[in-house]
Amino acid sequence: EVQLLESGGGLVQPGGSLRLSCVVSGFTLSSFTVSWVRQAPGERPEWVSTLTDGGQTFYRDSVKGRFTISRDISTNTLYLQMSGLGADDTAVYYCAKAAPASSFENWGQGTLVTVSS
């Protein structure tokens, strides 16, 4: 069974940094594309970043240069290092696994990031 479990969210001050983790099971990160998707309260989901099975990375423009997606294959953990956080980064952050014909087949339960002073 595929499972994804995020952690690392919390309250952070504007300009601060945070690292999110997503431990996966039921599949290996080296074989599947995975992504981070966020959702601000009452808003639509918003794609943030993708790491392909081949190691390519993609980011939305608003987080380029501030966020870094990475993985540790030995622990089957996906990361999102976030810096320069602002109020508009406040959201629930989900990690999601792709399938050959879909971007987000399986989702974690999410972790809440709140940027506020």
Partner 1 sequence: EIVLTQSPATLSLSPGERATLSCRASQSISDYLAWYQQKPGQAPRLLIYDASNRATGIPVRFSGSGSGTDFTLTISSLEPADFAVYYCQQRIKWPLTFGGGTKVEIK
Binding segment for partner 1 (CB under 8 A), chosen from 9-17, 19-27, 45-53, 66-74, is: 45-53
CB of 109 to partner 1, least distance (A): 6
Of 7, 2, 16, nearest to 94 by C-alpha is 7
What is the separation, in whole angstroms, between the first and last Cα of the chain?
40
Which backbone phi and psi does 88 adopt, to 5 degrees? -75, 0
Residue from 9, 21, 27, 47 touching partner 1 (CB under 8 A): that is 47
- The answer to whether residue 27 forms part of the interface with partner 1 (CB under 8 A) is no
Q: Report, in Å, the least distance between residue 87 CB and partner 1.
A: 21
Helical (H) or strand (E) element with 48: strand 46-51
Alpha-carbon distance of 85 to 26, in angstroms, equals 32
Would you say the C-alpha torsion 60, 65, 68, 69 has a positive or negative sign?
positive
Window contacting partner 1 (CB under 8 A); options: 10-18, 23-31, 54-62, 71-79: 54-62
Contact 37, 96 (CB under 8 A): yes
Q: Which of 46, 68, 76, 90 is close enough to bind partner 1 by CB under 8 A? A: 46
Query: From the CB of 13, what's the least distance to partner 1, in Å?
Result: 26
Question: Under the rule (CB under 8 A), what is the footprint of partner 1?
Answer: 35, 44-47, 50, 58, 60-61, 94, 99, 101-110
